[in-house]
């Protein structure tokens, strides 16, 4: 019997390649999201540190500097929140692309498995038919 050959193997290979690239993109986007979240957390920690510092004697110019620094941090935090929102959205889009690519690849993989199973069943059926024919031929010669 002929060797099994899946007619859509090239398409399957392409879908697997697309899925792998989508996975890499998802990992990259998740890394960017995590990085931006850590930057935001750092800015928020710094803001809390600056605004909660108590004790000690500060001059008027130092208090003005603390206030200006706190205002700048507030602005940076607001900007970083926008960056984080964009990073989260990009990660969600990458995840949707990965899910879709995985579904397409999985569908072709399942079709390939089904065709391989059918091929193997046909091979067994033909082998059984050949053995039956061989047994009948040997039995007729013995008579």
Q: Model confidence over 72-93: pLDDT tens digits? A: 999 999 999 999 999 999 999 9
**Segments in the chain below pLDDT 50:** none
| pLDDT attached to residue 112 | 95
- Kindly give, in sequence order, each residue whose CB lies less than 8 Å from that of residue 76, ignoring residues fewer than 6 positions away: 43
DSSP state of 55: S
- Kindly give, in sequence order, each residue whose CB lies less than 8 Å from that of residue 47, ignoring residues fewer than 6 positions away: 70, 73, 74, 77
| pLDDT attached to residue 58 | 72
Q: Please, what sign has the CA dihedral across residues 10, 16, 22, 27?
A: negative
| pLDDT attached to residue 54 | 62
Spatial distance between the Cα atoms of 47 and 74, rounded to a whole number of angstroms: 7
């Amino acid at each position: 019997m002929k060797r099994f050959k899946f007619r859509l193997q090239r398409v399957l290979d392409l879908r697997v390649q697309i899925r792998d690239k989508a996975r890499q993109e998802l990992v990259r986007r998740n890394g960017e999201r995590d990085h931006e979240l850590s930057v935001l957390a750092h800015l928020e920690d710094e803001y809390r540190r600056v605004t909660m510092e108590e004790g000690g004697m500060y001059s008027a110019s130092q208090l003005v500097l603390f206030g200006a620094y706190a205002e700048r941090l507030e602005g940076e935090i607001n900007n970083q929140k926008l960056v984080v929102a964009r990073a989260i959205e990009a990660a969600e889009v990458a995840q949707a692309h990965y899910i879709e690519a995985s579904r397409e690849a999985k569908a072709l993989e399942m079709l390939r498995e089904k065709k391989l199973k059918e091929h193997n069943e046909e091979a067994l059926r033909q082998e059984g038919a050949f053995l039956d024919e061989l047994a009948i031929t040997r039995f007729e010669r013995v008579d």
